[in-house]
Structure 1
Amino acid sequence: MKIPLLRALPLLLLVLYACPFSAAGADTLTLSIGDAVQMAVEQNLGLQVATYTPAIAETGIRKARAIYDPLFTSLLDHQGSNLNAAPESSLVDKRRLFNFNTSISQLLPSGATASASFTNLWFEDTLGFRSAPGVPTARYAQPQLTLSFSQPLLQGLGREVTERGITTADDATDSAFADWTQQALNTAAVARNQYLVLVKARESLTTQQASLDLAREVQSQNEARVSAGVLAAYQLQDSRLGVFQAQKNLLDAERAERDAADQLRTTLHLRAGTVIVTMPPPFVPSEASESDALRTATLRRPDIVKARVAVHTAEFNEKVSRNLALPSLALKGSGGVTGFDKNYGDAFDDMGSAKYPNWSVGLSFSVPIGNNSARADVAANRLIASQARAQLAAIEESATLEVLTALRALASAQEQIGVTEQGVTAAEVRMDSYLKRQQLGLATTKDVLDVSASLTLARQNYTAARADYQTAFTNLWKATGELLDRQGIRIKGNAIASRTRKETP
């Protein structure tokens, strides 16, 4: 497409405006819009603080999984006593008891507990006759190995109930990451829009510079024509006023450009004075469809994800509370072998030969009369689940409206680009016409300056339309929750948690 000279002038001036900054060395930073968003997400201090929350929540998962850590216990006990064998008797009953017991227990996903225990009992009793010759001392060793289990049959039965702490901690981590993602989306959207504001301000600055150059050219031509006697001197005042007005507009544009640059530097946490060289994003026709955008929003929006997690947690808690309201019924059993002899070696031989087996099996049942506490928990969790589902529906409804509004804004902004571009073309043709008419004496200086102001406005409208088009993309991608992906920022929740833990001393 051929670009008229007057329309290409603002772009040329923008390049000339940015190029001197490239010589600034270390204080110059060339950034695309994607680079700016990436830097904002990486450097934002509030986001760095929020990064620790998913990491903290992730440690809750590891803590909850500790229910499957085997439990090892050990007891070493030595007891002794000296007692009178009878009242007013001189005989003393000396007893010595030595215990060394160990056990290990393991929780199973079904809710059952399995354990293995070993008891090693050694006992000695003089029976008060130690001093009597020929009377043996009572002594024996009794080692015992027992395997036991307890399986809930009603309350506490099943993996879901057993791992309820793990599930809740996992949901809490997902919720924390959704919060982080929402904050990252907000940060990315702010950075992207501020970048576009700076691009718009610089293009407006070049437009105002072009308007001032034109006003000065008209002033110069008027001075020459007044000197030649072909133009009334009063028209010099009109052209001079036009120069002053263009200078004022240029000063306003310079101030707006500096304000926008300072704001972007602050958002990116850059050192004061750092020159940011911007690259206006190219125009890419929108191919967004309503169905795809709504489907993406349902899957990707952090507020919907968090609400869906809340529904899952609430429904899970309701299901678990119904189980915990059941009576407690457990199948219990155990089996083992025992050794019994005066000597340790013979006692262990007895145990190894299973000469003295023992076993048990039975049912244990208990239930609170009325069970009001558990029933109240079920009712409360049922209400919480209903509330969470209603909240999810409300958020999805709001998200749908936001996405549809963003789609309409994007379509309108794309059409505005075409309309304002045609407006620039018409204003440039009109400007050329009035410049020629002025040379022929068919148009006054004021007419030319009015037409120049219209051209400047048309160019600014075109600049604003292109910036608004990019801003509409920002709003749409934020509404669908895909802004981070669109800007090449892909960080998973477990990566955030792991990275933060590693950075923690």
Structure 2
Amino acid sequence: MKSNPSGQILIHIRCWMTSTASRVRGLMARHMRFRALAWCPAHNARSGLPKLLITGTLASSILFSGCSLSRKKSPDELQYADGDKPISSYRGHNTAIEYPALDNITAHAVSISSEPRSLQRRVDDEVREVTLHEMMIAALSHNQIIETSALGGVGSKAVLTNPNGVASVYDSAIQETGILFGRRGMDAALSDFDARLASSLTFSGQDNRVNTAGLPVLQNDGGAFNTSLSKAFATGATASVISNWSDSWSNSPNNVYPSTYQGVIGAQITQPLLAGSGVEFTRVAGPTNPAFGSIAGVSQGVAIARINQDLSLADFEIAVRTALRDIENAYWDLYLAYRLYDTSVTAHESAFQTWREAQTKLEVGTLKKAEELQARDRLYETKSNLELALNQLYQSESELRRLIGLPMNDGTVLRPSEEPIVAELRPDWQASLVDGLTHRVELRRQKWQVKSLMLQLDAARTLVRPSLNAVAGYNVLGFGNTLGSQKVLDPATGTPTNSALGSMSRDDLNSWTVGMQFSMPVGLRQARSQARNYELQVAKANAVLAAQERSIAHDITIAIQDVAAAYTAAQSNLNRLEAAKERVELLEAERDVGTLTLDLVLRAQASVAAAEGAYYQQIVAYNKAITNLNLATGRLLEYNNVYLQEGRWNPEAYDDALLRAQARTHATDNPNLRSDPPEFASPHPIGSVELLTPAVHDYEVLSP
């Protein structure tokens, strides 16, 4: 019989094969001979156990012999008592693509978006003039997930390839509320110092036979109610208060009272003196927990949680800075797309006008067919460039919409209303370098990392010592056959007995403990290895900090070079554009009088379009270079008037904070208590930038 998943009982009828039956008969014959030997008179004194053993051996041998020799039936050969039924719960695979049972709400920007504009859908939508500052405000207001530019085409955006790694407005709060090792927030770190209340109420009973005359069954019943309150302190000490009560009843004739109450009320304290002692250690590593020491390390304290929060804020600031840089680049890319489109329109109109004139001259016989075809070739070339420029305009506008969180098409067309900077900018090298080494967020983040590792190194060195704890405890004991009543008389003295609660105040029953606890792994190998590991991490972090400073100096150098190169190239292309326009005017005048071929005019018109496009490309590159310079010097957010600030709390939170501040203000300080730990944070940059090379302001500009 076999039970299937649906609860039906399946009856399998198997037939023994002839060869199997013959082998079973041989086994039975051998077992019968063994049974005859086992039942000889010499071994029949205690026949119960051998009889049971032989019977079990014979049955198991026959059973396993049949199982090993039987052939497994295929599903088609089996017949069931209830007939054939369609199989509904069978699957011929183990893994398949499935979808979560989640019905999410479609993003608002997607649900209200219209069909996007394209070369096949050219619509005359309303033009919306926008400024760069307006686009930045929209991005900071709309986006909960910080969008950045993506390279690589479809599917390469970070929100698709690495959704857990993208920056968001929730990251700081996620870090603040973290509870995992290495990523604990302030609340989780402070929770180690919360008082812990534990309580238990249990009842028990036991009836047991004992080897005692006159007492066939010993009965014991009891109950226990235990309560404790423990707390860890910043010095590394742990203190606890206990209240344990028990009630026991027994029918033992040796007991004075059949039912008694016992109670203990006491307090214990343990203070580390060597390893794991002191406020400096606890604020970095947290309270000592031997059970998780090798897992948690020395990074579970309040100070490290605070630094982790600052690291999270630095990551968020980097993400916001990158997003603003991408928005500014996308804004100028859209400006360039409009300029290139206008240039393409002008070039196409010029080519069309030239072709019309060529066609007219061809009809009157004053122009060769080849020259008319050349004009037509130029016409379709400019038409193709015009279409590609229009498509690039559509894509640039869509990219700007994506970065600021707008729908792909809301019935309006974004068009930049600001003109790019065309004035010459000559950055000061040393001033830019000082700004970069002072205000770059990456350096601040790495300095936080170095500070965190230095604090952990000091805490790890504290553990390279034996564990020596001072312990003390005092308990008040209580005993009585009642918990609170004193009406029961003592059978020996005839006086009322003390209750368990009353005996605590009158019987002077107590216990106390004072002493030291010492433990030390011989060699302190793990503690020394941990300290050495943090020494290496600090060395690496300082080396990374120096490498970052070199990289920032390189970024500033490249940015200054790009600013100079873009401005110089823009001026050259402007001169080229003016020359090309003047050339077209002269050539068109010669063409009109019939002294010039059409080929030179077409080439001159193409040169004007190329020069104009190159000029605007360099102007946009110049503005992008200025943006990169502000980013390299750490002034991009300040340049765009963007500042990060904590959001508003509940009004009750401000009231609670004010009450605590007033309480601290009116409190009396303990002159023997050092309550101010060394500061490891500052609202302003610490230190100065040392540049050994003197600044050079007067230099000769070499002509190219």
TM-score range, shorter chain: 0.7 to 0.9
Aligned-partner SS, 2:300: helix
1:328 maps to 467
1:119 to 244, 253, 264: 244
- CA 1:433 to 1:365, structure 2 compared with 1: closer, same or farther past 3 Å? same
- How far apart, CA to CA, are the structure 2 residues paired with 1:439 and 1:365? 108
Deviation at 1:468, TM superposition (A): 0.7
Aligned pair 1:158/2:278, yes or no?
A: yes
Matched-pair contact (CA < 8 Å) for 1:205–1:250: no
What amino acid does structure 2 have at the position aligned with 1:381?
Answer: Y
Structure 1: runs of 5+ lacking an equivalent: 1-20, 131-135, 499-505
1:367 to 511, 516, 520: 520
Structure 2: runs of 5+ lacking an equivalent: 1-121, 148-156, 180-184, 287-298, 485-498, 651-704
Deviation at 1:241, TM superposition (A): 3.2
Deviation at 1:393, TM superposition (A): 1.8
- Judge which range, 362-371 or 446-455, deviates more: 446-455
Deviation at 1:278, TM superposition (A): 1.9
RMSD: 4.3
1:411 maps to 564
Aligned pair 1:145/2:270, yes or no?
A: no
Aligned pair 1:262/2:398, yes or no?
A: no
- CA 1:283 to 1:255, structure 2 compared with 1: closer, same or farther past 3 Å? closer
CA deviation profile, 1:460-505 (whole Å, cap 9, x unmatched): 222112111122134334434555665566566x769x9xxxxxxx
Using CA pairs under 8 Å that are at least 6 residues apart, name the structure with larger relative contact order, 1 or 2. Answer: 1
Deviation at 1:326, TM superposition (A): 1.5
Aligned pair 1:475/2:628, yes or no?
A: yes
- How far apart, CA to CA, are the structure 2 residues paired with 1:144 and 1:90? 32
Aligned-partner SS, 2:518: strand
Aligned-partner SS, 1:365: strand
Aligned pair 1:201/2:340, yes or no?
A: no
CA deviation profile, 1:284-335 (whole Å, cap 9, x unmatched): 4548554554455445555444433433333333222212222111122223
- CA 1:453 to 1:263, structure 2 compared with 1: closer, same or farther past 3 Å? closer
- How far apart, CA to CA, are the structure 2 residues paired with 1:353 and 1:31? 87
Matched-pair contact (CA < 8 Å) for 2:330–2:399: no
2:608 maps to 455
What amino acid does structure 1 have at the position aligned with 2:385?
Answer: D
- How far apart, CA to CA, are the structure 1 residues paired with 2:609 and 2:215? 123
What amino acid does structure 2 have at the position aligned with 1:257?
Answer: L
Aligned-partner SS, 2:125: helix
- How far apart, CA to CA, are the structure 1 residues paired with 2:258 and 2:352? 124
Deviation at 1:81, TM superposition (A): 5.6
Matched-pair contact (CA < 8 Å) for 2:475–2:510: yes
Aligned-partner SS, 1:165: coil
Matched-pair contact (CA < 8 Å) for 1:41–1:187: no
How many residues are paired up? Answer: 466
- Judge which range, 350-359 or 244-253, deviates more: 350-359
- How far apart, CA to CA, are the structure 2 residues paired with 1:159 and 1:486? 42
Matched-pair contact (CA < 8 Å) for 1:29–1:274: no
2:230 maps to 105
- How far apart, CA to CA, are the structure 2 residues paired with 1:218 and 1:126? 124
Aligned-partner SS, 1:128: coil
Aligned-partner SS, 1:315: helix
Matched-pair contact (CA < 8 Å) for 1:97–1:124: yes
CA deviation profile, 1:399-442 (whole Å, cap 9, x unmatched): 22012211221233234444433443444445445555656677
Aligned-partner SS, 1:360: strand
- How far apart, CA to CA, are the structure 2 residues paired with 1:84 and 1:209? 109
- CA 1:278 to 1:374, structure 2 compared with 1: closer, same or farther past 3 Å? same
2:446 maps to 307
- CA 1:205 to 1:237, structure 2 compared with 1: closer, same or farther past 3 Å? farther
2:125 maps to 24
2:188 to 52, 59, 63: 63
- How far apart, CA to CA, are the structure 1 residues paired with 2:426 and 2:143? 27
1:282 maps to 419
- How far apart, CA to CA, are the structure 2 residues paired with 1:219 and 1:484? 52
- CA 1:374 to 1:186, structure 2 compared with 1: closer, same or farther past 3 Å? same
Matched-pair contact (CA < 8 Å) for 1:417–1:462: yes
Identity %: 21
- CA 1:301 to 1:243, structure 2 compared with 1: closer, same or farther past 3 Å? farther
CA deviation profile, 1:342-364 (whole Å, cap 9, x unmatched): 54335434545794454432221
Matched-pair contact (CA < 8 Å) for 1:261–1:276: no
